[in-house]
Amino acid sequence: MKHRFSFFKKMHSLKTVLLLAFIIIGFVPGCAIGGIFLSFYQSRALDNDTVSMTSQAQLLNDQIISTGYLKDTDIDVINTQLKALGNIYSGRIIIIDKTLRVVKDTYDLSDGKTFVWENAILGLKGERTSVYDDVSHCLILTVPITASDRSNTIEGVILITKSTDAIEQNITFYRNLYTYILLVLVVVIALIAVYFSDRFTKPFEKLAGLILNSQDTHNEVKVDNYTETEEISANFNDVMQKMRDIDESRQEFVSNVSHELKTPLTSMKVLADSLNSMEEGAPVELYQDFMHDITHEIDRETKIINDLLSLVRMDKSGATMNIESKNINEMLESLLKRLGPIAEKQKVELVLESFRPVTAEIDEVKLSLGIMNLIENGIKYNKEGGYVHVTLNADHQYFYISVEDNGMGIPPDSVDRIFERFYRADKSHSREIGGTGLGLSITKNAIDMHHGEIKVHSVLGEGTTFDVRIPLIYIKEQS
């Protein structure tokens, strides 16, 4: 079974295909050229014979008419000539008069007999014919005997047969010669085919080897013998780079997650240790203070875990989308209602401005979470007396949500990174106000899943605006 498999594998290999192609391309035209040459040679040789036989017949015609041979065959000059011609042609000459009677047959077989043959009859009608008989290998020519006077009346027919054995022998000779040449040609073609098919496929074999090795060595693959191998190399390197990037970002994510989860635990351990080592009779308020701090750390830990879970859910494919046609105005109103108390606590004014009623196909849970993070950030990274301004608008294709605040703003060198997981522009402040660094990556994922776009514009110390654009109709991705 294994042998059969490797045989079929070999038959499918590019090398074998090229080898066969070379042999076929080299051999088939070679055979065809040989066949064409031989048949061309045969027809040329027959044509030449016909021409020379016709001119001989013409000479005979004149002599037969001038000597009245058709009436009296006792003319030695002609008889000798006919015999000699018959010998030269290794054939037979028959003279027939206009009644189809054989006047003279050089084989002396049909003298006096009536010769009924289609071509002889045609000859009497003035038609010259030539037939090649490939069974008895001879050329048969019939030429009308015409009177030399003006009347041009047909007096009889000359029939000349000529053996074509010489031609046949030549053809056999050429055919044999050609077969030998062809055999040599096949060997030469096969050798050339082996050489070239090996040469052509070498770069692909090299490429396969390099790809295999690169798994261990992580080296770049580069085979630039052909455009194709160059393209495969480049694409392979790209894929490998992407895989390395994914691997790197996964490792970074895992180490970030561990670090983030460890921080509240470390604080809790310090607080718990402090509680344990508290002197007897310490005031209850002190215990309460420590317990309050521990609760705060537990809340932080819970928030990180919840955010991580949201992120994982968002990372799943679009198949998990629960798309429904929803009123976006209502969705934003309910979000602002939920965030109102926090804004009030921070003394930040929260305003919603809807320019028109908007209904769109969305996954409400995911999009709400994404927009809520933006509004929450607007409140969190703000100052007393600041504002967060949410607006909703739409055209025939998209709806637009913008979340604008006049808070602390984002440093220009951080703007491009704020959507990264665990990235915090102002680390100490963000941690202090309970940020996990995951909010904006959740938002970005939620918007991406709706095939939307998010853009940020921020001036440090003046405020930040997030502009979101989402299609009104959800387009399911083609798989």
| Smaller CB separation from ligand ADP, 142 or 441 | 441
- How far apart are alpha carbons 101 and 113 in whole angstroms? 6
440: contact with ligand ADP by CB under 6 A = yes
Q: What does the block give as tokens for 225?
A: 């013998």
Give the separation between CA 439 and CA 307, rounded to whole angstroms. Answer: 7
The phi, psi pair for 223, rounded to 5°, reads -130, 105
CB of residue 430 to ligand ADP, shortest distance in Å: 4
Pick from 130, 164, 445, 464 the residue near ligand ADP by CB under 6 A. Answer: 464
Name which of 204 and 422 has its Cβ closer to ligand ADP. 422
Question: Which helix (H) or strand (E) element contains residue 342?
Answer: helix 328-345
Q: Find the binder of ligand ADP among 158, 408, 449, 470 (CB under 6 A).
A: 408
Judged by beta carbon, residue 106 or residue 441, the one nearer ligand ADP is: 441
- Options 214-222, 262-270, 312-320, 418-426: segment touching ligand ADP (CB under 6 A): 418-426
| 424 touching ligand ADP, by CB under 6 A | yes
Which position among 86, 144, 203, 407 is part of the footprint of ligand ADP (CB under 6 A)? 407
**Which amino acid appears at position 461 of this protein?**
G
**Given CA atoms 332, 338, 342, 347 in this order, what sign does their dihedral have?**
positive
> Per CB under 6 A, does 301 bind ligand ADP?
no
Contact flags string 367-406 toward ligand ADP, x per CB under 6 A: ------x---xx--x-----------------------x-
Rounded CA gap, 455 and 43, in Å? Answer: 85
Q: Which region among 25-33, 151-159, 173-181, 431-439 touches ligand ADP (by CB under 6 A)?
A: 431-439
Sheet with 398-405, side-by-side order of all strands: 349-354, 387-394, 398-405, 463-471, 453-459
Nearer to ligand ADP, 91 or 439 (CB): 439
Please identify which residue in 123, 156, 439, 452 interacts with ligand ADP, judged by CB under 6 A: 439
60/66 Cα distance (integer angstroms)? 10
C-alpha–C-alpha distance, residues 375 and 333, integer Å: 12
Residues 6 or more apart whose CB falls under 8 angstroms from that of 290 comprise: 271, 274, 275, 278
Q: Which is nearer to ligand ADP, 60 or 438 (CB)?
A: 438
- Helix/strand/coil (H, E, C) string of 81-108? HHHHHHHHHCCCEEEEECCCEEEEECCC
Query: For ligand ADP, how many residues bind (rule: CB under 6 A)?
Result: 23
Query: Any contact of residue 435 with ligand ADP (CB under 6 A)?
Result: yes
Question: Does residue number 164 form part of the binding site for ligand ADP (CB under 6 A)?
Answer: no
- 436: contact with ligand ADP by CB under 6 A: yes
Q: Which residues bind ligand ADP (CB under 6 A)?
A: 373, 377-378, 381, 405, 407-410, 418, 423-426, 430, 435-441, 464
